Structure formats: structure tokens, C-alpha cells
Structure 1
Amino acid sequence: MDTSGMQITFLGTGTSSGVPMICCDCEVCRSENLKDKRLRSSILIESATTTVVIDTTPDFRQQMLRINNKKLDAVVYTHAHKDHIAGLDDVRAYNFFQKKPMQLYADALTQNGLKREFDYAFSDHKYPGVPELEMHTIEKNKTFITGDIAFLPVEAWHYLLPVKAFRIGNFAYLTDVNKIEDDQLELLKGTETLVVTALRKQKHISHFTLSEAVALAETLEVKQAYFTHISHQLGLHEAVENELPPHMHLAYDGLQLQIN
């Protein structure tokens, strides 16, 4: 697939609690730097004809209003944890203005979670005004296409939960990951731009640390890496950014990448 001109917008780069975190008075949560203010993690992908969101966070409505988005063709899901699915109901606005159901792409496990959380939207007898959704199943390592964007799903682990990472041409997105098997790592080789979770510096049971994320980027020999799903425990954006190699960066809300 030709990804020339594809644009990636970081809608959110924070972990499940967001940054600042409720009740916290640490220097990161008190920071006035806008790059230290992080909604829950999600990206918007725009090609010549197609617009896709990966995950609908609890902040989905705010995120789309913040960038004045008027078009959305599909939602692709990594997994069914609340901080990645809770905003699904707000696709109703796109149903209304686009006059068509929203296309959802998720593996079987994630579909089960979506149907539990939003049972009213999947009911045989729907209440007026509920989201209009069309579900498509993501199969392991099988490329799927929505519009003119092709996604290669890559299996990864979020502690004991299998989650989906995605490779789109020479771009890859991995969030909520702490382990990738060797055969799946092979699918990421040749990636030029990598986005991967880097929760904090201390070891965590279900997320890569900053050093582990850096090591993955080095293993894949990517041209550029951006770290996301960041907690307030990682530190101030500016300070951590200065510690990284020149081709690696902390992502921040609103950051846009042009993928050639």
C-alpha cells in the first residue's frame, strides 16, 4: 500500500488515569507545559480518502472537538480495556451527520468486551438514537483494509491479555504492550516510524518502561520512534525528552506526523 501523504495525529498520549491525575500534586501534574497534559491514548490516521481512529477513549468526544474533526470512516481497536473503548457511544454524531453506520474493527475478544459495555447498541431491539455500528473481525496476522488504508495486525501481550498492535506501511502503533513474541516481532521489521508505549521508568507488570521502549526501537532499527501511553510517573516532558536519542521523542497531545 502507498502511504504517501498519510498523516498521524496524536489525540491522546496519557495512560488510563490521564495526566494530570485526579488528586495528584506532583510536579508533572502541576506543570503548566501543555505537553505535560495528556488525554487517554489514541491516534487519528488520515489518508487521501480515509479517516480512522485507533481506540475510542473516555476522552473521545473532547479529542475530536479539540481538532475540529468532521469525518470518521472507521474505528480500529487494540483491546477492550475501559480507557480504550469508553468513548464509543459518541460516534452517534458521525452516524447523524454522515448518514451511515460506523465501521468497527476488533478481534473476537475485544468484540465481546464492546458488546458487554455497550449492549444497548448491539441489541436486536435498539432504542432510538443508539450508535449505529457495523462490526468486522480482526484475525491474527491477516491484513484488513478500510477505505484505502491497509492494517496488518500484530499480536502482543499486555501482561496476560493478548492485544493488537498495527503496522500500516512503514508505520507501526503499539500501545499497552509489555511483551512481543519473536514471530510477531518479525512482522515489525522494516518499520521506519514506531509509536510504542513507555509508561514510566520503573518496571511495570503490563507496560514497557521507557528503557524497554527505547530497546525495542533500537532492535527494529527504526528511523524515528515516539513514545506514548505515558504516566505522570515518567517525569516532565521536557526533561525526559532531553534524555532521549535524537531520533526518539515523547509524543504529546496534538502532535502530527507525516508518513511518506
Structure 2
Amino acid sequence: MLVEMLGTGDAAGCPKIGCGCAACRDALRGGRSRRARFSVLLRTGEGVVLIDTSPDLREQLLRARIPKVGAVLWTHAHYDHYGGLPELFRVQRRVRCYGTREMRDLVESTFSFMPLRFTTLEPFEEIELFGLRITPVPVHHPPLREPCGFVVIENDQKLVITGDTSIHIPQESLELMAEPKLLIADAIHPTLNFHKHMNATEALELAGMLGAERVLLTHLSHLYPPHEHAIKRYPLAHDGMCVALEATREESVQSQLDSYS
């Protein structure tokens, strides 16, 4: 499985409109602080799975040279995670979509003009797509009723995507998320506390709690230092970053944390 970070930004993206902070200036110069809204692409030999449809989806798919998406899965019903679905309209007919009941109600009412094939996901019920075993796990992202992350397994390789969440993830979800090769974790700010998102400290604590071999932080705001400075302290993902899961380095989270201290 090849994991490609199509977009690693939060709802505002980076550069944020009208902002002149150091990260936004770096983004405007074309640095790696430039972050589109969140989407992740999973490629296998059998097909392509897209996690969330960022409002920036058209440019993301063009850059990734993806002519067709095999299936779309959504983590939750917030615009920065579903708003780009119409970018597939007239490009791809009858898109295969997967999400919670809350997600289905929103998408079918908002994008009634699109011919969708929607399958409702149930918490902890595994589905199989293109050789991937995918399980939605409930997380905590108020006020939504049904936010979820995904546990993705190919052979003995395990990927966990938290989706947007606070650190208050249900215990049953944590048990299923344990010991991933790669954890892709929401970390909107380096240190500030948010009631519905993790900061970088909390995301790294979660990685340690789960026993993740590697962690990448995503859904990043413009409030981090410019990427080349921030990466010295935090394991940030960046737009266009690709990780071959079978090639993930055999290293403990603690050794990774030590390298950013």
C-alpha cells in the first residue's frame, strides 16, 4: 500500500487568506508550509481509495495524476473534509462512497445532483476494498454525532488515520487502533488545547499509547512555525508526501520523539 498525503492543512489551509505570519509567507513562496485541505490517498495494486474529499480535490488529483478514484470514504461531516466531492462530477460517474448515516444524509442532500453509490458504514464493521480491510472507529469531534477514524490493514501492515478528533477517543476504538505501522494523526496546533482537536503533544502521546512504529502529524494550521523549522521538532507530514507502508522504518515512537527533542 502506498499512502499519499494529498492535503495536510486544516479548514483554513496555509496560506490563510489575509495572513502574513511566517508560515503563510513561506507558503506563499512555495515552501512546504503550503498546505491544501485534508485528503489522503491509498493506492494498491487493485485500485485507489480516497479518504475525504477536500475542497482542493481537483488540484490534488491532478498533481497525483489520478484519473479515477475507486472509492471515497469520509471521516466526518465537516466541509473541509467533504466539500470537494463535486470535483469528480462529470469526470467520474456513480462514485462509490462510504460513510456514516450522518455523512450520508449530508452528502445526499447537499449533492443531490450527483449520481452516487453510497454504502453506510457501521462502527467497528470491517469492509474490504481493493485488497484493503478497512474498519471505521468512533472518535471524539463535537458536536458531530458520528466522527470516525479508519484502521486499514493490508496483509500484516496496519495504518491508522485518526480523522479529526480530540484526545478523548473511546477505549474500544483505541484497542482496535493499537500497534500500527503508521499513525496519521490530527494535530492542529503545536501546543494549544482545543476541545475537538489534538495538538502535537497530545497526538504524540496518542502515538506512544498505541505503540505506533511511526507517526505523521496532519490537519496542520498556519500556527506552526514554517515547515523546515517545525519539522526539527515535530514529525509533520507535507502535501505530496508518500509512504510505502511495507517500507516504514522499524523504529519506536520514543526514538522518533528523541529525534525531535
TM-score range, shorter chain: 0.7 to 0.9
Please report the TM-score for the alignment, with normalisation by the length of structure 1.
0.88
Instruction: Determine the structure 2 residue equivalent to 1:185.
Output: 174
Instruction: Determine the structure 2 residue equivalent to 1:91.
Output: 88
Percent identity between matched residues is 30
Instruction: Determine the structure 1 residue equivalent to 2:236.
Output: 250
| Coordinate RMSD, CA, aligned | 1.3
Query: 1: distance between equivalents of 2:120 and 2:128?
Result: 12
Instruction: Quote the offset at 1:204 in angstroms.
Output: 1.2
For 2:184, the aligned partner's letter is V
Query: 2: distance between equivalents of 1:148 and 1:106?
Result: 19
1:166 matched to 2:150:
yes
Query: 2: distance between equivalents of 1:44 and 1:94?
Result: 18
Instruction: Quote the offset at 1:83 in angstroms.
Output: 0.6
| Structure 1 unmatched runs, 5+ | 1-5, 122-131
Whether the 8 Å CA contact 1:72–1:94 is kept in 2: the answer is no
Instruction: Determine the structure 2 residue equivalent to 1:202.
Output: 192
| Structure 2 unmatched runs, 5+ | 247-261
Instruction: Determine the structure 2 residue equivalent to 1:65.
Output: 62
1:12 matched to 2:7:
yes
Instruction: Determine the structure 1 residue equivalent to 2:108.
Output: 115
Query: 2: distance between equivalents of 1:217 and 1:94?
Result: 38
Whether the 8 Å CA contact 1:50–1:149 is kept in 2: the answer is no
For 1:192, the aligned partner's letter is K
Query: 1: distance between equivalents of 2:105 and 2:89?
Result: 20
Please report the TM-score for the alignment, with normalisation by the length of structure 2.
0.87
Q: 2:24 aligns with which of 18, 29, 34?
A: 29
Query: 1: distance between equivalents of 2:89 and 2:143?
Result: 33
Instruction: Determine the structure 2 residue equivalent to 1:80.
Output: 77
Q: C-alpha offsets along residues 107-155 of structure 1, whole Å, 9 cap, x if unaligned?
A: 101111112221233xxxxxxxxxx310001011000112322201111
Instruction: Quote the offset at 1:91 in angstroms.
Output: 1.5
